[in-house]
């Protein structure tokens, strides 16, 4: 199986031994504590699950600035975005042991225990620098920039021991999986070549066929459909609705034992190219050999060019930094001429009118009225689940 990023073995930061974890939980109740923001909590969940291997905790300011600038820590570890605990909390002391409380679960239980090795103030200029490098913009209207700059400007760094996986295990018991669990399941299947498909949206026919195309062209043994389960921007479809629609599509339209439907506990960054590289890092940690990177991967609005998320792997990711390979995809749509879904780059003789193309707004309006999009665009079983959701918003 493909090695994890940065080490021979995966090193998740979740405390797996029940007795040790129980002892830490008891200790945590005696420690000073801070309430994390959702971004720092999501980073803890990802560290706990092994997704951010080989990190041992939150990055300090030097590493954060270095990673933002050149996708490398001061010591030379390739990493595409800073993994930080930015906070507005004051009074935390270097050398203290700290209980990190979960903002997303009622009662704010302890999510992790942290040994604080540095407490640093981040200047406005440094925040702006990181925003520009990570998101390629400082525009406060960008949802990722707005979130990042609203976290606070005190940076707490140091190793963490993760005690649970927040609400993800309880709210999505059939879907949330750690990188450890995904690796184990891939081994159980006996898959050697695995393609990952990233999604924060329901999957329509084009997405379904894209997975199939990648699997066939790469002669892959299986596909990991890996959905984001954390915080999104307003208007995005909730995770439980996406989950139900994707599972129905896989159940009806894919052969048994060729697809794993799973999810991960992270908040969307909307960082376009940098987030695409982060997706590649943690899919390698999951045991995947390839990642589908399509048009405007992890983008939002008009902040990124359509294929910037592919170009970054050729232009900025150093050779050998990742073992995982990219499957570069074009915009995919149903061809009326050929009566099948195709990548647009593969049919230069087509005009726009030769494709079944619907805007997201048009699809939402149709679903809200109980009108199913054409079957060339969306499977009827998927459309039914989405239609029920949109109609429920009006009641």
Determine how β-strand 332-335 pairs with β-strand 154-162: unpaired
Give the active site residue among 200, 212, 247, 364: 200
3-state secondary structure of 226: strand
Torsion of CA 148, 13, 227, 135, to 10 degrees: 20
Using an 8 Å Cβ cutoff, are 60 and 116 in contact?
A: no
- Work out the angle at residue 308's Cα, subtended by the Cα atoms of residues 305 and 313, and round it to the nearest 5 degrees: 180
For this structure, is 200 an active site residue?
yes
Gap between the Cα atoms of 236 and 390, Å rounded: 11
User: CB within 8 A of 97, min separation 6: which ones?
Assistant: 31, 113, 114, 115, 116
Using an 8 Å Cβ cutoff, are 171 and 109 in contact?
A: no
3-state secondary structure of 289: coil
Q: Sign of the C-alpha dihedral, residues 317, 322, 327, 331? A: negative
Using an 8 Å Cβ cutoff, are 113 and 98 in contact?
A: yes
Gap between the Cα atoms of 12 and 196, Å rounded: 20
Closest CA relative to residue 59, chosen from 148, 160, 128: 160
270: phi > 0 → left, psi -120 to 50 → alpha, else beta; which?
Answer: left
3-state secondary structure of 79: coil
Using an 8 Å Cβ cutoff, are 317 and 79 in contact?
A: no
For this structure, is 37 an active site residue?
no
Gap between the Cα atoms of 22 and 24, Å rounded: 5
Give the active site residue among 21, 97, 201, 247: 201
Give catalytic residue positions.
200-201
């Amino acid at each position: 199986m493909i090695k994890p990023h940065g080490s021979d073995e995966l090193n998740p930061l979740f405390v797996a031994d029940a007795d040790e974890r129980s002892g830490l939980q008891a200790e945590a109740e005696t420690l000073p504590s801070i309430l994390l923001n959702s971004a720092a909590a999501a980073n803890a969940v990802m560290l706990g699950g092994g997704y951010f291997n080989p990190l041992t905790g939150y990055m300090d300011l030097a590493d954060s600035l270095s990673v933002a600038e050149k996708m490398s820590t001061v010591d030379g570890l390739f990493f595409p975005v800073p993994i930080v605990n930015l906070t507005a909390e004051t009074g935390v002391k270097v050398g203290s042991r700290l209980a990190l409380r979960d903002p997303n679960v009622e009662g704010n239980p302890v999510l992790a225990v942290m040994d604080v090795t540095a407490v640093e103030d981040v200047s406005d200029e440094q925040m702006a620098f990181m925003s520009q490098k990570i998101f390629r913009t400082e525009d406060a209207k960008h949802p990722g920039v707005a979130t990042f700059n609203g976290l606070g400007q005190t940076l707490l760094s140091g190793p963490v021991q993760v005690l649970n996986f927040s609400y993800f295990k309880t709210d999505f018991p059939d879907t949330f999986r750690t990188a450890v669990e995904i690796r184990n399941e891939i081994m159980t299947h006996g898959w050697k070549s695995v393609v990952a498909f990233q999604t924060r949206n329901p999957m329509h026919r084009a997405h379904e066929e894209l997975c199939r195309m990648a699997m066939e062209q790469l002669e892959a043994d299986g596909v990991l459909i890996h959905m984001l389960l954390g915080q999104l921007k307003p208007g995005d479809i909730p995770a439980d609705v996406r989950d139900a629609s994707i599972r129905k599509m896989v159940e009806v339209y894919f052969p048994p034992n060729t697809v794993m439907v799973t999810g991960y506990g992270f908040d969307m960054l909307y960082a376009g190219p940098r987030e695409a590289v982060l997706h590649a890092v943690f899919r390698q940690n999951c045991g995947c050999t390839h990642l589908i990177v399509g048009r405007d991967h992890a983008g939002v609005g008009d902040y990124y060019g359509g294929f910037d998320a592919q170009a970054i792997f050729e232009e900025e990711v150093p050779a050998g930094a990742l073992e995982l390979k990219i499957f570069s995809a074009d915009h995919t749509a149903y061809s009326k001429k050929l009566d099948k879904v195709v990548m647009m780059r593969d049919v230069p003789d087509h005009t726009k009118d030769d494709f079944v193309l619907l805007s997201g707004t048009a699809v939402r309006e149709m679903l809200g009225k109980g009108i199913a999009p054409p079957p060339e665009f969306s499977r009827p079983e998927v459309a039914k689940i989405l239609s029920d959701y949109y109609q429920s918003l009006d009641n």
